[in-house]
A and B are shown apart, each in its own frame.
Chain A
Amino acid sequence: MKFDLNPYNLDTKKMIRIPLFILVICIGILFSFFVIYDTPVRLGYDFTGGTVITVPSTKDVGYLEEKYQAYDLLFVRDMGSRTMLQFGFIDPDKGKELRESIIQEYGEENVQLDYSGATFGEEMQRLAIIAIIFSFILMAIVVFVAFRIPLPSCMITFCALSDIIMAMAMMDIFGIELTLGSLAALLMLIGYSVDTDILLTNKVLKEGKNTKDDFKRIFNTGFTMTTTTLVAVVVMFIVSTFSYLFTSYTQITILSEMSAVLIFGLLADMLNTWLMNAGFLRLYIDKRGKRR
């Protein structure tokens, strides 16, 4: 494959400024969501408590909306051969009533149902934050131990942070809630998105490959890496989200959310690795060279 795009052609400062600018915008998005909704990303039923029910497809959304309005129905969504109804957290007795009514209408064997309690949701929020922090710390420890050079290691960790922030901002833009699925994807991004940074930093600093041609070669490798993962994840996204358009299949929500977040993160990673980290490494080598 011939890649004529070589970010190395850009001015070093520009290389760093572009992703930083985007990062600032993303932080702005997360902050405004925090101001409006109290959380930087909107929380799904796993974290707030609530009920998600899918039933064999009904086109009459208005009927569903009217019938279940009393149960804190948040939204009704068409997902192919099935229709999804999402409810907020209601007291258990009412929840039972809702369930019985749905089962009566569609038959026990046709109803998919997931319920999560409100207190449990709070506990999960706490655990999710702990999981993200620990994931991040463990990843950072591996990076620092592996490279033993403080500044570039910090940069790799910073790139991972930036990947996560950008992915979360895109979740806000595209209306994807934080569920267990998207949380898993974020955690995977923490460990995985640094792969290309590790490749780049190792090649440039440890193997001493820092000419323009070297950079182009590393970029080719890294770009192919991200592309292969990206296509695998895009396939997962398309099949789990849109296959119902041309088959009798149903959306698989958890896979759809996971793949969307992974796609966001991988795209962010391209920016952060090949502009921010690469720009930083060029500056770092220049400075180091001058000192010598």
Chain B
Amino acid sequence: MNKLFKSIRFWILIILVILSIFLIHPTVSDGRFKTNLNFGLDLDGGSYLRLRADAVVVSVDLDKNLVSKAFLEELIGGKVTIVSLDDNGIVFTTDKEVPQEILSSYGLTVESEDGKIRMPISYERIVAIYLSEKLNAEVIPVVEDNTLRYEIRKTVDRDEIEKVIQPVGGKLTYYDDRASNSTLEQTKTMLEKKLNALGSKDIVIRTIGNKYILIDLAGVNLSDTEKIVSTPGVFEIRIMADDGQYKKILSGDDIAEVDPAPRSEDGIIWGAGFTLNEAGASKFRNACIRYNAVNDPEKHPIAMYLDGELVYSAPLSPDLASMLKDEKVYSLFARTGIGDTGKMEARNLIIHLSTGVLPVKLITETSGQVPATLGDQFKKEIVLIIILAIIAVSIITGYRYKEYKIVLPMLSISFSEVLIIVGISKLPLIGWQLDLPSIAGIIGIIGTGIDQLIIITDDMLSEEKDKEQQIKKKQTKRRIKTYEKRLTNAFKIIFISAATTSFAMLPLLVMGLGKLTGFALTIIIGVLIGVLVTRPAYGGILRDIMISNKE
């Protein structure tokens, strides 16, 4: 056995097991067993949403002259003759009046020069506005992979776009039902901001491919999650005028920053802090002076509205009122109340404050929730499954080999494999949440792992009887060589089967098929750990046992 403790394979295994236990960090507090592990929503309770942007991205190849003419005629509502067309804009003539309000709604201007009209505009804006008018949706030019594309913020099918671009000599060269990468990223960031304010301990929000946004929220139910996600935030700050009516003084744009979490100066009274930008601060000061809130705060309270609904109102504090008389104040603090209720309200207010309107509408593809109590029950069942599975496997192997010197190492190897996989799930970068499919993966790995140990064991034992006679008289050195050769044979088979198992899981891992990523990852990592660490260690242990048995 002395040789075993000199073997590197063996020590690598021991070190990995210790590291994994350290990562799992099992503790017992208040009589409850606790670990450091990240469990999936189906075990911890919570809700999930998979959202898709209501948008498509297209590339079109159009006839410049035709589209410019069609664009102008669409805007002006009459016949247009193009005089010239270049990178700076269009020069044209028309009998009709140019409708200023439509132009200004797109931020366009025109200038007349001797009967001709000149409109400075870029080509991609012409196309964007043309598509926007025709499809009745917001259209934005985007650059992806060095190509000019257009993001249409509405799900429009291929045929509909082709119908619209055909009259202007157009060809659809690219179509994908998704939002542009930058829009998706921006939406994700805004959702992140809104959800962070909820104070859930565990928020996972990520994009899948360039199409979906996936939100996992532990400990929050689906209705609350959906409410936050779908809240379109038209945010306003109003002040009460002398006539008892609230007047709008600030909008969401005037807010530069919102504190991410509720704040309390004395630990009793809670509130939400936020900062106004330059324009906001001066508008706020002017309004407070104009409506006389600086002198009579109680009569002119400040109120916050989200989508026309009152979410908060309070008078200026005396300090703030007197400060506003002298100068602009940027940093404001909205008190919400005392204790947990106050804190909760502050949290909600933060969400309202940081709510910008999401750039695109989101469509729910899948959603759901698991109650925390049910998750707890699942956890207990899983522990039961793993324990019973290991016992069942022990019985089979025990019956087959009837030798504790073989069965014991086999089972400890299998068990350490489970520990290492679970430990790896805690690592940064490759770590993942242990959800129900991952647990199924672990059971699968117990099964396949034992399989490979059986291949090694049988290969080492098989020729025992045939060659025992020959080897008996030869030296130990020669015997070790024979065992090494058998190990190599066994490992050939193990490598091939490990490769088929993990390669077959690759598509699942790469494609992000719903909740199955954890399953694929568990199996692949389990197989890798098996081939690289635990099987070699087992081979070494078994060889040493057999040699020492002979001696």
> Hey, which bits of chain A sit against chain B, CB under 8 A?
1, 46, 54, 81-82, 92, 99, 103, 108-117, 119-120, 124, 127-128, 130-131, 134-136, 138-139, 141-143, 146, 180-181, 183-185, 187-188, 190-192, 194-195, 198-199, 202-203, 206-207, 217, 220-221, 224-236, 239-240, 243, 248-250, 252, 254-255, 258-259, 262
Contact = CB atoms under 8 A, between A and B. Distances in A.
B30 to A, nearest CB: 22
A239 B501 contact: no
A117 B505 CA distance: 26
A255 B503 CA distance: 22
B381 A124 contact: no
A151 B445 CA distance: 30
A114 to B, nearest CB: 4
11 contacts: A54-B374, A109-B372, A112-B374, A113-B369, A135-B506, A142-B496, A142-B499, A188-B505, A192-B444, A217-B462, A236-B389
Given A130-B511, A131-B513, A187-B507, A231 B374 contact: no
Contact of A221 (B458, B515, B516): B458
Given A115-B364, A184-B516, A202-B493, A192 B501 contact: yes
A262 B489 CA distance: 28
Given A135-B508, A188-B504, A207-B489, A124 B514 contact: yes
B385 A228 contact: no
A240 B437 CA distance: 13
A134 B507 contact: yes
Contacts of B380: 249
B26 interface: no
A254 B436 contact: yes
A258 B497 CA distance: 21
B334 to A, nearest CB: 28
Nearest to B42: A254
A229 to B, nearest CB: 3
Given A109-B221, A184-B519, A232 B393 contact: yes
Given A113-B368, A139-B503, A252 B378 contact: yes
Interface of B: 42, 50, 52, 221-223, 363-374, 377-378, 380-381, 384-385, 388-389, 392-393, 395-397, 399-400, 436-437, 439-440, 443-444, 446-448, 450-451, 454-455, 458, 462, 489, 492-493, 495-497, 499-508, 511, 513-516, 519-520, 523
Contacts of B513: 124, 127-128, 131, 180, 183
Contacts of B444: 188, 192, 229, 233, 262
B394 to A, nearest CB: 10
Nearest to B496: A146
Given A46-B514, A198-B493, A199-B455, A141 B503 contact: yes
> What are the nearest 4 A-B pairs in CB distance?
A191-B504, A229-B447, A114-B368, A120-B365
Given A109-B371, A135-B507, A239-B385, A191 B500 contact: yes
Contacts of A259: 440, 443
Q: Looking at A99, A119, A230, A255, which has the most chain B CB atoms within 10 Å of its CB?
A: A255
A252 B436 contact: yes
Contact of A187 (B221, B368, B448, B508): B508
B524 to A, nearest CB: 10
A255 B172 CA distance: 46
Contacts of B508: 131, 135, 184, 187
Q: Looking at B381, B462, B516, which has the most chain A CB atoms within 10 Å of its CB?
A: B381
Given A108-B221, A117-B366, A235 B388 contact: yes
Given A115-B366, A124-B514, A235-B389, 4 more contacts: A114-B368, A188-B444, A194-B500, A252-B381
A235 B499 CA distance: 26
Nearest to B512: A127
B517 to A, nearest CB: 10
Contacts of B436: 252, 254-255
Contacts of B520: 184
B202 to A, nearest CB: 18
B381 A228 contact: no
Given A124-B514, A187-B505, A254 B437 contact: yes
A120 B450 CA distance: 38
A229 B364 contact: no
Contacts of A248: 377
A168 to B, nearest CB: 16
Contact of B447 (A1, A81, A228): A228
A243 B502 CA distance: 31
Contacts of A54: 374
Contacts of B369: 111-113
Contacts of A252: 378, 381, 436
Given A184-B519, A202-B492, A116 B497 contact: no
Contacts of A225: 450-451, 454-455
Contacts of B502: 191
A251 B305 CA distance: 46
